[in-house]
Chains A and B, each alone.
Chain A
Amino acid sequence: MFRYKDAFVTNERGKVLEIQGSIDAENRNIEVRNKHGRINQQWDIIYADEWKGEPGKGELNEEIGLIVERDFYIVS
């Protein structure tokens, strides 16, 4: 049984979900550990019916600051 509060997914014994080894990569295991609060223990709950999906070709990826698959030069 898990609860979600303030970015942490916590069980009743105070353990929280975290990404093993704090490595942000495909197929990394997810595990429970004592809470230390670093980013590999922080999660967002995104409801599927509110998920906008990822920006498609020609759309701005706001987080990255670039338009998807739109060619550009980089000028010094």
Chain B
Amino acid sequence: MFRYENGFIVNEKGKVLEVQNQNLNTDAEQRNIQVNNRGSDIRQQWEVVYVDEYSEPKKGELNEQFGLYVERDFYIVSALPSGRYIDLINNRNMVIKTANGRKTQVWYFHQQSKTIRTRYNNQSWDIKNAGRTRDMQIWSTNSGWFQVFQFSEGFFTNPTNNKVLEVTSSKDDEGSALIVNSRNGNNANNANQKWKIVYVDKAQAIRTKGFNKEFGFHINRPFYIRSRMPMKRVAECHGANNVWLKRWRKNTNAQQWYFDEVSKTLKNNHWKSHSLDIQSNGGSTNIRCTTTNSRWW
């Protein structure tokens, strides 16, 4: 026989229901429930919710506990000055990058698992090695404590270890890694821990023309990159690979480039799926014209 009193389910000998074992993994699927002497720990505290009053937020509704709308796509923008978006490198590791329109920058809250997932492959935020490191990645959804984050007042907080998502070392650079760390407070010095949610259905449409002041180019308007050396040769994409200096030739699209607002790269006007690129993932000095990837190189 059990009674419900002030958040505890108590039997007549004073024992209360609790979730077995006090550790980081207590709040997990298939944990045993047992009785024990009453304490003050949250694993002994329960709410009785009548079935006719129970409901979970549905798609498009706000989950107030997690601060996110269910299955409503969003971007996550860093409060650091460049306003980069949370993205993935190697489709695995979480980083910040310039907005590029890829699905790896689109996230949603999954009500059933209580995790934040990527639209790229529906995997969830995950602290690497089951929470034994600080590094953030995406991984198959398992709803372990190391996959659960709540959003409130600009912070993504793991409710089990109270660590928050941050840009490592406050490096406001393309590809800076994300980790979890202790919260620094709520002031101007912790911009690397603060974020803004931009729901995709409220985001401004990508511009298709006009001047991008940050990059110094008109959007989608073909141009030549012409050397100031005496012969005034131009940069040409040769065979969708090398970028050479060549004499200007009329109506040669391989000599024309345009700034793509989505990928933020300089695309070639003949090889339209190719962008100006530093060879070997930026490890070389040579310039190539390769498949667009929006990485820093």
Chain A residues with CB under 8 Å of chain B are: 1-5, 7, 9, 11-13, 15, 17, 19, 22, 24-33, 39-40, 42-49, 51, 53-54, 63
Contacts and interface: CB of A to CB of B under 8 A. Distances in A.
A28 B227 CA distance: 12
Interface string B276-297: 1010000011110000001111
B216 A30 contact: no
Contact of A53 (B221, B232, B250, B296): B250
B238 to A, nearest CB: 8
Contact of B227 (A2, A24, A31, A33): A24
A2 B266 contact: yes
B216 A5 contact: yes
Contacts of B294: 1
Nearest to A51: B224
Main DSSP-derived SS at the B contact region: loop
Interface of B: 98, 173-174, 214-218, 221-233, 235, 242-248, 250, 256, 264-266, 269, 276, 278, 284-287, 294-297
Nearest to B247: A26
Nearest to A50: B223
30 contacts: A1-B98, A1-B174, A1-B295, A2-B266, A2-B276, A3-B215, A11-B278, A11-B297, A22-B229, A24-B230, A24-B245, A25-B231, A26-B233, A29-B286, A30-B243, A30-B287, A31-B286, A32-B278, A33-B285, A39-B229, A40-B227, A42-B228, A43-B226, A43-B228, A45-B224, A46-B226, A47-B223, A48-B256, A49-B222, A51-B224
A1 B214 CA distance: 12
Contact of B245 (A2, A27, A42, A47): A27
A46 to B, nearest CB: 5
Given A31-B286, A48-B222, A54 B248 contact: yes
Contacts of A3: 214-216
A32 B227 contact: no
Best-surrounded residue of A22, A26, A39 (most CB of chain B within 10 A):
A26
B285 A1 contact: no
A53 B217 CA distance: 21
Contacts of A13: 296
Contact of A19 (B223, B245, B297): B245
A31 B246 contact: no
A3 B264 CA distance: 9
Nearest to B222: A48
B288 to A, nearest CB: 9
Contacts of B233: 24, 26
B245 A30 contact: yes
A30 B230 CA distance: 16
A27 B246 contact: yes
Contacts of B224: 45-46, 48, 51
Contacts of A19: 227, 229, 245
A5 B256 CA distance: 19
Best-surrounded residue of A2, A13, A31, A51 (most CB of chain B within 10 A):
A2
